[in-house]
Amino acid sequence: MKLLITGSFGQVGRCLVERLNNMAGVEFLALDREELDITDESAVFNVVTSFSPEVIINAAAYTAVDRAEDEVELSYAINRDGPANLAKAADKVGAAMLHISTDYVFAGNKDGEYLESDETRPQGVYGASKLAGEIAVAEACPRHMILRTAWVFSEHGGNFVKSMLRLAENRDTLGIVADQFGGPTYAGDIATALLHIAVAIIKENNTGFGVYHYSGMPHVSWYDFANTIFTEAKAQDVLVKTITVNPIATSDYPTPAKRPANSKLNNEKIFTQFGVSPSDWQLALKNLKDYTS
């Protein structure tokens, strides 16, 4: 199995590399933006044609949701043009393209879980640029799989779990938004799911290409998520004090970009096609010491 990974220093990218290092019979090339600028079409084509992977997994993205409102061109360059370059190159060498997208492609006002077939209506630049990337990938490479996920966290990089633990060092009380709901998703589980799918495509000739949702269960609010983090941190002796978490409304914490009130993604399609179960985010919080190093 021959894989090309982009965005190798991001949360999902680093988890992919960790897992690939422990997989037998796999040749892979993992590149970060310093090694491959995916917005550079000629550079992308040179790397892809010379390495000739069977699957490209694009874990590179512009994810600064609020800053994207000002950095519009950069957002689209990384989230639309870069994936388009990779997808075109994938199609040229006959590779499959696995691309990570987001719950922000939806308006976030649906009752219940979002299906892959639901109307997309992003509310900000980040979501719009990611949706544009989905469209570009689908148009450029028929053998594509787009994986929409939400609320990603891990031991690597910046994320909600690490922010909560950092804030708890100097604070005894926090106000956390309680009217936005979704499924926290462990980046390691996303990596495992992507590699499982890559194997299914290459070795089992699974042709279930298209759009899939993959996130954590059970669905919770940010307030619930924070409470669980602090309960686990106390139980694991990562925190020695009790943190009081107060529920607040989205309107109490204004941000430049609008957040979806509902980020609940339905995971049934990916389970039916590939046997991939939702991310167990509660299990992923059982090693919080790794999030503080």
- Alpha-carbon gap, residue 10 to 93, rounded angstroms: 26
Domain count, the chain: 1
Residue 231 belongs to a domain: no
Backbone angles phi, psi at 96, to 5 degrees: -90, 150
> Can you give the residue range of the structural domain that contains 98?
2-159+183-218+264-280
CATH no. for residue 27? 3.40.50.720
Helix, strand, coil content of the chain in percent (nearest 5): 40, 20, 40
- Alpha-carbon gap, residue 197 to 70, rounded angstroms: 36
- Alpha-carbon gap, residue 149 to 98, rounded angstroms: 13
Residue showing tokens 């892809």: 48
DSSP string computed for 244-287: EEEEE-GGGS--SSPPPSEE-B--HHHHHHH-PPPEEHHHHTTT
Tell me, what's the pLDDT at 206? 84
Residue 228 belongs to a domain: no
Tell me, what's the pLDDT at 265? 98
The four Cα atoms 272, 279, 192, 176 give a dihedral, to 10 degrees, of: 140
pTM over 0.95: yes
Tell me, what's the pLDDT at 139? 97
Structure token digits, residue 224: 């619930």
Catalytically annotated residue among 104, 114, 126, 212: 126
Per-residue buried b or exposed e for 224-263, using 16+ beta carbons within 10 Å of the residue's own CB? bbbbbbbebbbeeebbeeebebebbeeeeeeeebbbbbbb
| Beta-bridge mates of residue 101 | 148
Tell me, what's the pLDDT at 78? 98
Residue 109 belongs to a domain: yes
Strand order of the β-sheet with 210-213 is: 27-31, 2-6, 55-58, 96-102, 144-149, 210-213
Task: Write the CB contacts of 250 (distance below 8 Å, at least 6 apart in sequence).
Answer: 177, 179, 180, 259, 261
Residue 95 belongs to a domain: yes
Would you call 241 helix, strand, or coil by DSSP? coil
Residue 254 belongs to a domain: no
- How far CA 279 is from CA of 112, 153, 188, 189, 229, in Å, comes to 18, 11, 9, 6, 16
- How far CA 136 is from CA of 21, 57, 72, 77, 139, in Å, comes to 31, 15, 17, 12, 5
- One digit per residue, pLDDT tens: the chain, 293 residues? 999 999 999 999 999 999 999 999 999 999 999 999 999 999 999 999 999 999 999 999 999 999 999 999 999 999 999 999 999 999 999 999 999 999 999 999 999 999 999 999 999 999 999 999 999 999 999 999 999 999 999 999 999 999 999 999 999 999 999 999 999 999 999 999 999 999 999 988 888 999 999 999 999 999 999 999 999 999 999 999 999 999 999 999 999 999 999 999 999 999 999 999 999 999 999 999 999 87
Residue 24 belongs to a domain: yes
Contact 267, 133 (CB under 8 A): no
- Alpha-carbon gap, residue 154 to 14, rounded angstroms: 10
Residue 168 belongs to a domain: no
Helix axes 82-93 and 41-51, enclosed angle (nearest 10): 30
Tell me, what's the pLDDT at 293? 74
Cα 262 to chain center, whole Å? 17
212 as an active site residue: the answer is: no
Residue 252 belongs to a domain: no
Question: Exposed/middle/buried for 40, CB within 10 Å: 0-12, 13-18, 19+?
Answer: middle
